[in-house]
Amino acid sequence: MVDGLTLWKQLLQVQEPWVVQACRADEFNRCMAVWIGVEAPRSWFGLGRQRVAQGGAEASWRHTGFGGWRVQVHVRVPTGSEMPRHPWAGEAGMPFTRALDRQILSLLNEGVSMNGVCAILDLPVAEVWRYRYALDHGRHAVTSTEAQPASVVIPDGAAPPVAPPAAPISSRVPDLDDPVWQRLMDGTLALDVRVLGLQLLLSRTRSQVALIADEEVRRMKLRDLHRYFVKNERMLVHELRQLLPEAA
């Protein structure tokens, strides 16, 4: 029979030299806390019990849920070592692990609102807003060579994400992959904008993109801009007349 530490090692895919040191269940709040540390070298011939290296700072992140349970991962990083780059860990100062980070970005890219993300993934509103603020101001990057995109796991009882309405077949809005959107977003394409909402969106997006280096976050901002045109096509006639001749 698999014990708790071995089970969580398998669920989180923790690999050496990292080991699951402890786990504690809060059945009332349906929350599982897991502690991960670095295994200290064994004595000669492999004798002696497994030990976890002591010292260093402890970081904590919210991880993807399992079976309707919330998971909080605590990682003890030995003194002088770098923060692990695995999906079950996150960036210093951020509230979520890389695996959960990917899920949130995936939902935002699909047009799910901030409140929707919180409801689907059972996350505190304040932490999601802090995460979004870091994305918008170039203080957090999602792209990683080790953390692959994760599918969204919907907790028990949560409503599935609702995709935004697709553009009408007769829509004149250029396709999302058209280079014209990149030019509009970074300011190299100037439009005479009469709609206040678009003026504010362009101003905010351009100031944010100037600080953002992560390509996936920039892609999310581009989707937001394209989605605004699709949703408000009828009142953006003047702007589209200028945009269409520039499209590929």
Look at residue 143 and tell me if it is in a domain.
no
pLDDT at 50 over 90: no
pLDDT at res. 168: 45
pLDDT at res. 149: 39
In whole angstroms, give the CA distance from residue 173 to residue 229.
7
pLDDT digits (tens, 9 = 90+) for 186-245: 999 999 999 989 999 999 999 988 988 888 888 889 999 999 999 999 999 999 999 999
Q: Which of 79, 103, 136 is the last residue of a domain?
A: 136
Tell me: do 49 and 122 sit in the same domain: yes
Look at residue 157 and tell me if it is in a domain.
no
pLDDT digits (tens, 9 = 90+) for 96-121: 999 999 999 999 888 888 899 999 99
Tell me: do 124 and 188 sit in the same domain: no
What percentage of the chain has pLDDT greater than the value 70?
81
Tell me: do 191 and 118 sit in the same domain: no
In whole angstroms, give the CA distance from residue 203 to residue 201.
6
Look at residue 141 and tell me if it is in a domain.
no
DSSP 202: H
Tell me: do 117 and 237 sit in the same domain: no
Tell me: do 80 and 203 sit in the same domain: no
pLDDT at res. 150: 41
Q: Which of 136, 170, 190 is the last residue of a domain?
A: 136
Q: Which of 136, 164, 199 is the last residue of a domain?
A: 136
pLDDT at res. 61: 95
Look at residue 100 and tell me if it is in a domain.
yes
Ranked by mean pLDDT, the top range of 23-32, 151-160, 207-216 is 23-32
In whole angstroms, give the CA distance from residue 142 to residue 123.
18
pLDDT at res. 192: 93
For residue 56, name the pLDDT band (cuts at 50, 70, 90): low
Tell me: do 191 and 86 sit in the same domain: no
Q: In terms of residue numbers, what domain contains 185?
A: 179-246
Tell me: do 125 and 191 sit in the same domain: no
pLDDT at 94 over 80: yes
Look at residue 99 and tell me if it is in a domain.
yes
Determine the average pLDDT of the residues in 171-198. Answer: 92
Determine the average pLDDT of the residues in 150-175. Answer: 57
Kindly give, in sequence order, each residue whose CB lies less than 8 Å from that of residue 152, ignoring residues fewer than 6 positions away.
103, 106, 107, 120, 121, 161
Look at residue 160 and tell me if it is in a domain.
no
pLDDT at res. 143: 60
Look at residue 155 and tell me if it is in a domain.
no
The average confidence (pLDDT) of the chain is: 83
Tell me: do 114 and 234 sit in the same domain: no
What percentage of the chain has pLDDT greater than the value 90?
54
Tell me: do 38 and 119 sit in the same domain: yes
CB atoms inside a 10 Å sphere around CB 139 = 13
Tell me: do 121 and 41 sit in the same domain: yes
Q: In total, how many domains does the chain have?
A: 2
Tell me: do 128 and 215 sit in the same domain: no
Tell me: do 81 and 201 sit in the same domain: no
* More confidently predicted of 24 and 46: 24
pLDDT at res. 216: 86
Look at residue 184 and tell me if it is in a domain.
yes
pLDDT at 41 over 80: no
